[in-house]
Amino acid sequence: MAASALDKQRQEAIKRAIEQQKLIAEKMKNIKYKIVVLSGKGGVGKSFVTASLAMALAMKGKRVAVFDADIHGPSIPKMLGVHGKRMYALPDGRLLPVDGPLGVKVVSIDFLLESEEQAVIWRGPLKTAAIRELLAFTEWGDLDYLLVDLPPGTGDEQLTIAQLIPGLSGSIIVTIPSDVSRIVVKKAVTFAKRLNIPVIGIIENMAYFECPDGSRHYIFGKGAGRKIAEEMGVPFLGEIPIDPRISKANDEGKPFFVEYPDSKAAKAFLEIAEKIIKTVEGKTGGQESQQKS
Ligand SMILES: Nc1ncnc2c1ncn2[C@@H]1O[C@H](COP(=O)(O)OP(=O)(O)OP(=O)(O)O)[C@@H](O)[C@H]1O
Ligand SMILES: [Mg+2]
């Protein structure tokens, strides 16, 4: 008796998951390109890169949203200056993203939590269910780009979350210049292969420090990111400098890209955004023309 009640519960959970997966696909139908941002290592600046790239793409005239899939440490809202806001729920249960800087739409579990500590106790299956639910009820509208900030790491948990998003266009790998970066990139490339999506390219964050006199100091060594990209046969997208204003802006909950549009970092993000557009949209154009011929 108890066993059959459990079976029934399990069957209902599976049915619900399948229905929600269909809803996710339906709700995401009008998003042209979906990109996951990865790193094989935590704390390399993945969330900062995701938030800044979203703003850079928006500056290029693209309609952009960010999905913060990091339940344990949802930092995207803070980096986009919308921490503390709430997603608006329509009477039929649909959720509207929060409007961030430059029109970037933001969806994060952070908007639904009562307190910052709440999600820390959630275990794997509960986290996946929460993310699936959030995706199933979000009304994205028409978008060019959806950037997904996954939780740190490239294990099964991250894979399960990434697999909830249908039709991924590719991945962007974030690394830092250090001895571990080779392992970081390798793990991320393997992850992308498991997802069956192309690697759009590698971004090296905290690559150098520029003094007020304009001299550049490659504190952790020069060119590691580019070299690893070559070794792994994936494109190198660019370097982001270390800038104390970045950590200050992030800590204060101000969007760095908007606060310091003339900084080297903001300019680097604009150049990288251009490369991403060329790669992703160029590829689609190619595929379409191949299909036509
Ligand atoms: N280029 C940079 N210059 C200075 N500080 C930076 C830079 N990039 C990121 N930071 C700071 O480093 C810290 C880590 O960045 P971030 O939270 O984006 O990393 P993450 O890879 O997403 O971390 P996690 O693994 O916890 O998700 C933050 O305090 C951020 O403000
Ligand atoms: Mg992060």
Which CATH number does the domain housing residue 64 bear? 3.40.50.300
Radius of gyration of the chain (CA): 19
Q: Give the C-alpha distances (Å, rounded to integers) separating 89 from 8, 83, 156.
A: 30, 17, 31
Report d(CA 268, CA 207) in Å as an integer. Answer: 12
Mutate to test the pocket of ligand 1, among 36, 37, 47 (most ligand atoms within 8 A of CB): 47
Q: Is 143 helix (H, G, I), strand (E, B) or coil?
A: strand
73 Cα: distance to centroid of ligand 2 (angstroms): 7
Nearest-atom number in ligand 1 for the CA of 151 is 27
Helix segments in 28-119, DSSP class H? 46-59, 76-79
Higher pLDDT, 125 or 257: 257
pLDDT exceeds 80 at position 284:
no
- Whether residue 201 lies inside any domain: the answer is no
122 Cα: distance to centroid of ligand 1 (angstroms): 23
Q: Give tens-digit pLDDT for 183-228.
A: 888 999 999 999 999 999 999 999 999 998 989 998 888 888 899 8
Report d(CA 254, CA 248) in Å as an integer. Answer: 9
Residue nearest to atom 16 of ligand 1 (CA): 45
- Whether residue 180 lies inside any domain: the answer is no
Give percent helix, percent strand, percent coil of the chain, each to the nearest 5: 50, 20, 35
Q: Give tens-digit pLDDT for 71-119.
A: 877 899 999 999 999 998 899 989 999 999 999 999 998 888 776 666 5
pLDDT exceeds 80 at position 287:
no
- Whether residue 292 lies inside any domain: the answer is no
Q: pLDDT value at position 292?
A: 35
Residue nearest to atom 6 of ligand 1 (CA): 247
Nearest-atom number in ligand 1 for the CA of 44 is 21
- Whether residue 59 lies inside any domain: the answer is yes
Report d(CA 241, CA 289) in Å as an integer. Answer: 38
- What residues pair up with 105 in beta bridges, in sequence order? 65, 99
Q: pLDDT value at position 293?
A: 29
Report d(CA 215, CA 143) in Å as an integer. Answer: 40
Q: pLDDT value at position 71?
A: 81
Using a 6 Å CB cutoff, which residues line ligand 1? 39, 42-48, 70, 73, 75, 152, 205-206, 240, 242-243, 246-247, 250
Share of the chain above pLDDT 70, in %: 92
Residue nearest to atom 11 of ligand 1 (CA): 247
Q: Which domain holds residue 75?
A: 27-173+250-287
Q: pLDDT value at position 180?
A: 76
- Whether residue 10 lies inside any domain: the answer is no
Q: Give tens-digit pLDDT for 63-73.
A: 999 999 988 77
How many domains does the structure of the chain reveal? Answer: 1
- Whether residue 101 lies inside any domain: the answer is yes
Report d(CA 56, CA 283) in Å as an integer. Answer: 20
- Whether residue 66 lies inside any domain: the answer is yes
- Whether residue 210 lies inside any domain: the answer is no
Q: pLDDT value at position 67?
A: 97
46 Cα: distance to centroid of ligand 1 (angstroms): 7
